[in-house]
């Protein structure tokens, strides 16, 4: 996944639609949260086993919501000046230190 290319493409969509005015860090974090809620809704009331064996239509829907979440996080990182690769790898290293005992 080339995050620089994804960011450029998302910025092109944003700019073509005059959405920059709405893409504050606060709004992007809120939008990612809304998309996460839509992902959670797919699993609402399912058993553990059912959640691991989604029918094709629900699996595709889950993928769309995951994509929405990731794209909002890409935009959020760009707005905050964060390097998503560094942030993710740093957090992974922190988790490895904390939880690989």
Summary mean pLDDT of the chain:
97
Query: What's residue 83's pLDDT?
Result: 97
11: domain CATH number is 1.10.287.1080
**DSSP codes of every residue in the chain:** --HHHHHHHHHHHHHHTT-GGG--HHHHHHHHHHHHHHHHHHHTT--HHHHHS--HHHHHHHHHHHHHHHHHHHHHHHHHT--HHHHHHHHHHHHHHHH--
Indicate if the pLDDT at residue 101 is higher than 90: no
Number of domains in the chain: 1
Indicate if the pLDDT at residue 7 is higher than 90: yes
* pTM tops 0.95: no
Q: Which residue range(s) make up the domain with 37?
A: 3-99
Query: What's residue 100's pLDDT?
Result: 94
Mean pLDDT over 55-69 rounds to 98
Least confident interval from 35-39, 60-64, 97-101: 97-101
């Amino acid at each position: 996944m080339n995050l620089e290319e994804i960011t450029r493409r998302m910025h092109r969509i944003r700019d073509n639609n005059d959405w920059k005015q709405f893409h504050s860090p606060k709004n992007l974090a809120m939008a990612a949260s809304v998309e996460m809620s839509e992902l959670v809704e797919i699993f609402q009331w399912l058993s553990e086993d059912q959640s691991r064996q989604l029918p094709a239509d629900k699996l595709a829907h889950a993928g769309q919501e995951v994509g929405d979440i990731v794209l909002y996080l890409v935009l959020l990182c760009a707005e905050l000046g964060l390097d998503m690769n560094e942030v993710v790898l740093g957090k992974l290293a922190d988790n490895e230190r904390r939880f690989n005992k």
